[in-house]
């Protein structure tokens, strides 16, 4: 019997007899690894451990203690969900059931909506089926056989047709079969710690012209304690929901009369927004950026040159004016390019860095809109660096410096970093030369190393026009949020013929770096609101201090204290209503005002105030001048 060669990620190889299983191959590496293994991937194809080896290749073992292992568990739980639905509700049509961040979902076509009671019933049946410890089997079938298997499943048939492949992968779990690439757990015994969370509507393939399906969301873990911790986090997240806090703190909202996906900033919210913008502009100007402003609309020809009309037209707002097509801008890049091109540029005049908080508009599907997190009009924290190849690393390093500084100022110092590069086996899919890609990728890697940032390398995840760094910040309750990105672009400089004159007198395409730190300002404020649970630090708080009178006799003194603090540059509110002081304090607490100054008869007589700080309580009396200095110091230090 012939032997097959399986190459491991560390460069070592092992020999395995044809016809032995992938589990046998893993056992050769170690019994401990086999106990922890779930599946293997060979040359990009997933295989169960029990499957026989038929060909050699590069093998990767998927284990329980990895992100890939958790994704495998969740994918398998999605199939378990579908099996239970098939068992309980015959005749249901099945669409997709992938793992997603923090869980999984499966889309179903059923005439009657799933109820909360039915979710409980499905979950109970899932547990009963999982206890059978059914083996999850994979087999390859021809396209014709797949069409027979799924002859009564229109969404599967459409998927088969769209794939256009002659050999397809099918996984069986008990009585349920699915068209699926995998991977999956060896059997159902690991599917124990799971919970179904909700039901929502979802269009087939995300297309609003196609049928509306029912999407059941769930989550699963290897251990019950991890599931319990996640469910506790979800409960905490509900309390921190920025939509709820936006209403309660009178910050922002979506006005239905104006249309979905358009945010309105109330006076308190606009103050918060203003602090972030002022800080952002100050940091950028200090670091050599020039801030610019571009129009909200431009002729369609600009977007034809950029390629957006060809690839993203359905996501854009387009209208006619003066017998010409215009576009409401979906991004700021072309405007910055036009500004750069207005002058002849030489290498000695680079780099040029333009930064803009530019409001852009995208025709997002109504079903995807979510508070400030997903809107149709948003302010993009945008910057573009135009530079030479030898300036790349310094420019990327500056971007990383700014990510750390700006995110640190807002209380974020824990990140997950991903480096997305091109697929080395399909280089023809990407714009730019090998030399450009190697220089860009090297600058990203070197800059990350210089800053001591750990990262995961994501091959094939780069967009066609350049490699990138993505930064996911981690908030107070452990959630990851995609915010900052540093993205090379070898496409737009060629489309717009953006060049500079090099030291040898020749014109060369400029190297262009897209860079966002906060991302969407709206979304970042949503994240920030949930991170702090609306309890913003003093320097950001819309109302930093509130002065409250105990009785009518101190009204005039309270107003004078408020005026003095306001002259110092602080954001001050006053409450001189004829209400009891306890009521006033409670109201200020509800609005999460950081510092509260109470003035009674004794304080008015002595030119003092009684200080209360949130989470600290009553701190005694202070002179007004001292209070002003203390607050300003705290604001300057962002404490």
Would you name the residues annotated as active-site residues? 333, 362, 380, 382, 384, 468, 514
Query: Which pair of tokens denotes residue 565?
Result: 């603090």
Contact present, 129 and 80 (Cβ < 8 Å): yes
Alpha-carbon span 362 to 139, nearest angstrom: 42
Closest of 221, 241, 237 to residue 102, by C-alpha: 221
Query: Which pair of tokens denotes residue 397?
Result: 């390093």
Task: Give the DSSP letter of residue 374.
Answer: B
Host H or E run for residue 340: helix 333-341
Q: What is the DSSP string of 133-151?
A: --BEEEEEEEHHHHHHHTT
The reply to whether omega before 183 is within 30° of 0 (cis) is yes
Dihedral angle of Cα 45, 46, 51, 56, to the nearest 10 degrees: 40
With residues binned 3-state (H G I as helix, E B as strand, rest as coil), the percentages for the chain, rounded to 5, are 40, 30, 30
Alpha-carbon span 212 to 215, nearest angstrom: 9
273-276 own/partner pairs: CB under 8 Å, 24+ apart: 273/521, 273/525, 275/539, 275/540, 276/518, 276/521, 276/524, 276/525, 276/540
CA angle centred on 17, ends 12 and 20, rounded to 5°: 105
Query: Which pair of tokens denotes residue 248?
Result: 């309660």
* Full strand arrangement of the beta sheet holding 317-321: 297-299, 324-328, 317-321
The interaxial angle of helices 392-409 and 434-450, nearest 10 deg, is 40
CA angle centred on 129, ends 124 and 135, rounded to 5°: 155
Contact present, 524 and 532 (Cβ < 8 Å): no
Q: What is the DSSP string of 439-503?
A: HHHHHHHHHHHHTT---EEEET-SBTTB-EEEEEEE-TTS-EEEEEEEEEESSHHHHTT-EEE-T
Alpha-carbon dihedral sign for residues 423, 424, 430, 434: positive
User: In this structure, are strands 572-575 and 545-549 parallel, antiparallel, or unpaired?
Assistant: parallel
Alpha-carbon span 555 to 561, nearest angstrom: 10
594-598 own/partner pairs: CB under 8 Å, 24+ apart: 594/536, 594/537, 594/538, 594/541, 594/544, 594/545, 595/538, 595/544, 595/545, 595/546, 595/631, 596/545, 596/546, 596/548, 597/545, 597/546, 597/547, 597/548, 597/561, 597/627, 598/548, 598/550
* CB-CB neighbours of 185 under 10 Å: 26
């Amino acid at each position: 019997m012939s032997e097959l060669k399986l190459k491991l990620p560390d460069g070592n190889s092992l020999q395995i007899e044809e016809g032995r299983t992938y589990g046998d191959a893993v056992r050769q590496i170690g019994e401990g690894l086999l106990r922890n293994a779930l599946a293997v991937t060979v040359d990009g194809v997933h295989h169960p451990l029990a499957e026989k080896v038929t060909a050699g290749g590069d093998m990767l073992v998927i284990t329980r203690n990895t992100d890939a292992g958790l994704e495998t568990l969740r994918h398998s739980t999605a199939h378990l969900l579908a099996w239970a639905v098939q068992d309980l509700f015959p005749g249901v049509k099945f669409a997709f059931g992938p793992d997603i961040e923090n869980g999984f979902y499966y889309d179903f076509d059923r005439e009657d909506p799933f109820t909360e009671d039915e979710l409980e019933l499905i979950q109970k049946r899932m547990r009963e089926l999982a206890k059978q410890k059914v083996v999850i089997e994979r087999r390859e079938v021809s396209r014709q056989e797949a069409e027979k298997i799924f002859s009564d499943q229109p969404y599967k048939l459409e998927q088969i047709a769209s794939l256009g492949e002659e050999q397809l992968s099918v996984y069986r779990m008990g009585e349920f079969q699915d068209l699926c690439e995998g991977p999956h757990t060896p059997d159902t015994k690991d599917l124990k710690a799971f919970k179904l969370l909700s039901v929502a509507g979802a269009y087939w393939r995300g297309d609003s012209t196609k049928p509306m399906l029912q999407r059941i969301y769930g989550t699963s873990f290897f251990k019950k304690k991890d599931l319990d911790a996640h469910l506790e986090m979800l409960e905490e997240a509900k309390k921190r929901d920025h939509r709820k806090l936006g209403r309660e703190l009178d910050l922002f909202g979506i006005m239905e009369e104006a249309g979905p996906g358009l945010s309105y900033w109330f006076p308190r919210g606009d103050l918060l927004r203003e602090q972030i913008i002022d800080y952002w502009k100050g940091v950028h100007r200090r670091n050599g950026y020039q801030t610019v402003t571009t129009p909200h609309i431009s002729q369609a020809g600009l977007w034809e040159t950029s390629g957006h009309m060809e690839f993203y037209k359905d996501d854009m707002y387009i209208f006619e004016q003066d017998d010409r097509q215009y576009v409401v801008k979906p991004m700021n890049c072309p405007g910055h390019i036009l500004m750069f091109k207005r002058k002849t540029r030489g290498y000695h005049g680079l780099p040029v860095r333009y930064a803009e908080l530019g409001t852009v508009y995208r025709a997002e599907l109504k079903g995807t809109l979510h508070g400030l997190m997903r809107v149709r009009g948003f302010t993009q924290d945008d910057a573009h660096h135009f530079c030479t190849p030898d300036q790349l690393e310094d420019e990327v390093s500056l971007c990383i410096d700014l990510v750390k500084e700006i995110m640190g100022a807002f209380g974020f110092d824990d990140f997950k970093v991903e480096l997305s590069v091109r697929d080395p086996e399909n280089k023809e899919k990407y714009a730019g030369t090998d030399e450009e890609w190697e220089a860009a990728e090297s600058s990203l890697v070197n800059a990350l190393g210089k800053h001591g940032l750990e990262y995961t390398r994501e091959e094939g995840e780069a967009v066609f026009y350049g490699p990138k760094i993505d930064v996911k910040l981690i908030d107070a309750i452990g959630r990851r949020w995609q915010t900052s990105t540093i993205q090379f672009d070898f496409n737009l400089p060629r489309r717009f013929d953006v060049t500079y004159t090099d030291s040898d007198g020749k014109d060369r395409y400029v190297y262009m770096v897209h860079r966002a730190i906060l991302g969407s300002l709206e979304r970042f404020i949503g994240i920030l609101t949930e991170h702090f649970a609306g309890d913003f630090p003093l320097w950001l708080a819309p109302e930093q201090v509130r002065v409250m009178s105990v009785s009518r006799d101190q009204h005039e003194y309270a107003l004078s204290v408020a005026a003095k603090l306001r002259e110092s540059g602080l954001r001050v509110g006053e409450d001189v209503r004829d209400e009891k002081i306890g009521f006033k304090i409670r109201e200020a607490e509800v609005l999460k005002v950081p510092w509260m100054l109470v003035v009674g008869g004794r304080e008015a007589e002595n030119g003092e105030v009684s200080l209360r700080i949130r989470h600290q309580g009553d701190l005694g009396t202070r002179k007004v001048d001292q209070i002003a200095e203390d607050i300003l110091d705290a604001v300057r230090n962002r404490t």
